[in-house]
Amino acid sequence: MADIIQLLPDHVANQIAAGEVVQRPASVVKELVENAIDAGSSSIKLVVKDGGKTLIQVIDNGVGMSHTDARLSFERHATSKIRSAEDLFQLNTKGFRGEALASIAAIAHVEMNTRQETEELGTQIRIEGGKLVSQEVTTTPEGTSISVKNLFFNIPARRNFLKSNQVELRHIIDEFQRVALAHPGVHFEMYHNGNELFALPVSNLRPRIVHIFGTKTNEKLVPVEENTEVVKISGFIGKPQFAKKSRGEQFFFVNNRFIKSPYLHHAILSAFEGLIKEQTYPSYFLYLEVDPTTIDINIHPTKTEIKFDDEHTLYAILRSAVKHSLGQFNIAPVLDFERDSNLDTPYDFKDKGANFPTIEVDSNFNPFEEKEGKVKTQTKPVYKKENTAGWESLYVGLETGDTKEEQFTQLEVESEHLSGNLFPEEEEKGQTTASTYQMHRKYIVTSIKSGMVIIDQYRAHQRILYEQFLRNITVKEALSQQLLFPLVLNYSKTETVLIKELKESLQHTGFAFSKIEDESIEITGIPMNVSESEVSIILDQLLADFQEEIPDSSFSQADLLAKTLSKALAVKTGELLQKESQEALVNDLFACKEPTLSPLNKPTYITITGEELDKKFL
């Protein structure tokens, strides 16, 4: 039998490796920017076009590469970071496996210009689909510039799986923010289609966070600091009142490398327990410094997950540090029965001495001294007795029967109407209409010919609003109520990018925007059944639901938007409804096209027939 095992060609092996390393344009940004960090750059510029599909360019002022190193950097497993297997346990760099440039070059058009400080001329290399097109000497600034064009040009199937430009841009911004937060000592710039998105000067950590997430973030931050033999923790956490329904401001950095750790995330949530609402997430920007030998970075292709030697100890220290920070800055409530807040010394009197009280005595005071010729004596109060003469006249006429009994003939006594039926029926013009009853402020009960219907008021109202909003978005005829004063809301740049993507669909539901800037939006109109106080809640819920992906098709986008709005505006469990509202809810539900299910495919009501009730009494 002939041999059937053979070695894969290099270009095929590189494309397979690219499937692990390069999932979307954001993956290319991550690898190139991290390489620029490892090159010792103090300034990095990122240029993106069409969400990274057309162009991704990273320009740095690092050490650059020689003529030979520039060509060798595109070979698989070529790296300057490690020399032996033992070096894997002493990693202080971002990349180390030497797969990034080879994988990127296999699926795109790549051009590199690089020059070292000691050289007068640099090197230019062009590679297309893993094949070297040209390598020549060129004039270029010190450092390295890498341009990646037409990503996945030779793998159309992978390119078809990419999302819209705005969605891919959001993922690129996420990767850019992670690297920028890990290195506040590096100057960063980012441009998309010629527009500047970020310009981050060299600064400390707190100003870097504020520059990325907006000026309003500064008031939300609480510092965290803890030094132990196991780990050194520093950074900031957000105050509990600013917790959001959407994820996005949760950052863990271990040795200046961004990681994802559900286990450590649970430690933060545990520290915030009782301070934030359910299904909300606090912000945190925490930096952990540990011994490199106690972690394993090489367990995931993207290196965003690492393994700790002693996770349990780390969990306890992190939870304790966050709790201590919340208590130290009077964020967490303190229960102390012996402490009297009235005895607290105000800060204004901190360094002032105590003023001793003085007693003034009038030595000439005499309580028996006569004033104006009279002696001051105590007198009893005098009560005047009323004249009770003629009291007999009050009873005149009672014995002779002269009372006017006819005045009481029309007297009606108000009494509560008693009914023996749970659902009384009212006879009106020969028609019988079943009444409704709200049970536990959660269910609406009404009768039908065959028995009774129990309706979940929250799910039913969701279905009604969902079909209403979906109709408005599709027909584009939603009514809007104009605000007397524009409503200004502050968001991060990532969130405003998402709102821009949804702007058209939101306008079809009744929202009106006067402007959407990098850190704020101005709303001049809202839907008819939305109050001004609910706008921020609705948009927060919207950002939470659209956090992962924005659907490409307009119908899917409208569908998800209608679900979000109906979920945020539906009458909640525990809300008391008047009779008219209950009946309107029942009528509107059964007027829907699909009254049996909520937008999330949960049953809206159940029916109990008379036979089923009879069986209960057997």
Domain that holds residue 529: 430-618
Cα angle: 140, vertex 46, 254; to 5 degrees: 115
DSSP 8-state secondary structure symbol assigned to residue 194: T
Is the per-residue pLDDT at 402 higher than 70?
Answer: no
Q: Which CATH number do you get for residue 127?
A: 3.30.565.10
Angstrom distances, CA of residue 153 to CA of 13, 150, 157: 17, 5, 10
Distance from C-alpha of 500 to C-alpha of 335, rounded to nearest angstrom: 46
**What is the mean pLDDT of the segment spanning 577-592?**
87
Please tell me whether residues 592 and 477 are part of one structural domain. Answer: yes
Please tell me whether residues 107 and 124 are part of one structural domain. Answer: yes
Q: Which CATH number do you get for residue 280?
A: 3.30.230.10
Domain boundary, last residue among 180, 200, 220: 200
Please tell me whether residues 499 and 597 are part of one structural domain. Answer: yes
Distance from C-alpha of 259 to C-alpha of 311, rounded to nearest angstrom: 14
Q: What pLDDT, on a 0 to 100 scale, did the predictor assign at position 110?
A: 93
- The side-by-side arrangement of strands in the sheet containing 109-115 is 131-138, 122-128, 109-115, 143-149, 55-60, 43-49, 187-192, 195-200
Is the per-residue pLDDT at 67 higher than 80?
Answer: yes
Q: Which CATH number do you get for residue 549?
A: 3.30.1540.20
Per mean pLDDT, which range of 84-98, 155-169, 193-207, 289-303 is the poorest?
Answer: 84-98
Q: What is the pLDDT of residues 547-580, one digit of tens each?
A: 655 665 556 777 888 888 888 888 888 888 888 8
Q: What pLDDT, on a 0 to 100 scale, did the predictor assign at position 411?
A: 54
Q: Which of 328-332, 406-410, 545-549, 609-613 has the highest mean pLDDT?
A: 609-613
Total domain count, the chain: 3
Any domain includes 399: no
Any domain includes 370: no
Q: What pLDDT, on a 0 to 100 scale, did the predictor assign at position 559?
A: 81
Contacts of 203 (CB under 8 A, 6+ apart): 184, 211
Is the per-residue pLDDT at 203 higher than 60?
Answer: yes
Any domain includes 595: yes
Is the per-residue pLDDT at 72 higher than 80?
Answer: yes
Q: What pLDDT, on a 0 to 100 scale, did the predictor assign at position 201?
A: 93
Q: What pLDDT, on a 0 to 100 scale, did the predictor assign at position 422?
A: 44
**What is the mean pLDDT of the segment spanning 406-426?**
50
SS3 labels along 70-127 = HHHCCCCCCCCCCCCHHHHHCCCCCCCCCCHHHHHHHCCEEEEEEECCCCCCEEEEEE
